[in-house]
Structure 1
Amino acid sequence: MTVYCYLDVELKLRDEDKAVVTPAYFLGSIEDSLQSFFGEIGGQTDLELVKFDKNRKRGILRVQDEFLSRTRTAITLIGHFQDIPCHFIVKETSEKKLEF
């Protein structure tokens, strides 16, 4: 049985006009950070973007419970998005773990 958690994540950019924010770039930035900081194992983290709001630069991520801490760490350590200074904020994490 796999247990999943959900993270509400927002992207804050220093210069919002220069960035192309799409679901693929948003998720790719987090996946790149996972691989950069945790190597090959981090790159194998099962991560899914289940909802994305382009205007608010905000998404809901689904991650297995065992990878939650690693994913939050990788998100916190992101400093650039498309060479633009930025930071990601984890607004909320699901406290109720859903089983699938």
Structure 2
Amino acid sequence: MSAHFDTTADIAAPHPDPAEKWLVGLGISGQDGLVWHYYLIDRAADAEAAVGGALGRARLEAHRLPHRGEPLAYEVRRMHQDLFGQWVLLRPRPDDAVLVGCE
């Protein structure tokens, strides 16, 4: 008797690495030009999910900061915790770079 194991869920939905976080900058138009707001996002599977988390947090804070609008630019950087417990910013990967820069 053979057993069949379905592994498609593991392939289709990557699990976030607990030793990784994302630093997401949202460039929002202010009175004196572009103002950057940075958010530390954890448990995001990829850069797009990290930006979604940052946008959600920015919208929750919008009632306290009335000058906020939709972001005009994004900066997305992956962070990794090394074996000594220190967090370091990693260079953007080619698949992350899609979300970096101005619209």
- Give the number of the structure whose alpha-carbon radius of gyration is greater: 2
TM-score, with length taken from structure 2 = 0.36
Structure having the larger proportion of residues in strand: 1
